Amino acid sequence: MSTTAPDPQRVREASLEELHRLRLPLPPPDFPLIWEPGDQVDLRPGPSIEARAACLNVVLARAWGLPPELGVQWLAEARLVEWLTPEEWRFVAEADGDERAFARHVEALFTLAWLLGIAMDLDPLWGAAEGLMERLPDLAQGESFDTWRRRTLAAPRSALEAARQLDLYYCLDWALRECERRGLPLPGQLDASAAGQRRWALEWAVVFAGPYHGAPPGWGQVDLST
């Protein structure tokens, strides 16, 4: 159910305070806000986030050596083939694509797990938590999508909490790219690529409604250019 989004300026102030705590460069004063006062915010339905997480789990498994026929069979039995982007499908079914680029999705998958309440923390100093794959469908053992959903009993985060994280990672993405551009040290394990993956998942999952927002993007249409 949608609710009024938190005050964007106060959320931005908290995000900048976190960057300052991490001793990261701050974005310029005209760095845009993500939403406007009075906008509504919601989280995509839990089953949709579960489906996207399951798809990324297969994509990562393929990057780490899962045979293509097993990945395709699992997705077909789970009725999730249509959830893949064309690029993901070509990679899973035909090994067509940059394996290293798809392997970076581990941080996006970790963020989806956080949104589902099966990962505890999105600490910007640390990468994806150990044990993440144990909380996802066990492809090697043939665990089905439905069995995994019953095992995890997801409890999705609130849209307000997710929106605050989105603003933080929007700013963090800029700050870490600026560090890399200027050759500055990074404060923890996350680099700009990892922060961008987390932002990708949050941009997709957090849905705003208001005068300046269009239809929610598909996974492959998320814009990380700003």
Summarised one tens digit per residue, pLDDT across range 43-91 is 999 999 999 999 999 999 999 999 999 999 999 999 999 999 999 999 9
Q: Is residue 223 part of a domain?
A: no
CA distances from 96 to 78, 154, 164 (A): 22, 32, 36
Cα-Cα end-to-end distance for the chain:
28
Of 152, 179, 195, the last residue of a domain is 152
At 129 the pLDDT is 82
For residues 26 and 113, membership in a common domain is answered with no
pLDDT at 130 over 90: no
Give pLDDT, residue 1. Answer: 80
Mean pLDDT of 196-206: 98
DSSP state of 3: E
Q: What percent of the chain has pLDDT over 90?
A: 95
- Give a yes or no: residue 225 inside a domain: no
Please indicate, yes or no, whether residues 60 and 33 belong to a single structural domain of this protein. Answer: no
Dmax (CA) of the chain: 51
CA distances from 177 to 22, 71, 151, 225 (A): 14, 34, 38, 12
Q: Which domain holds residue 20?
A: 3-42+158-217
pLDDT at 123: 94
- pLDDT at residue 191, rounded to an integer: 96
What span, in angstroms and rounded, lies between the C-alpha atoms of 139 and 136? 9
**Considering the domain boundaries, does residue 172 fall inside one?**
yes
Q: Decide: residue 216, CB within 10 A, 0-12 exposed, 13-18 middle, 19+ buried.
A: middle
Residue at 98 is within a domain? yes
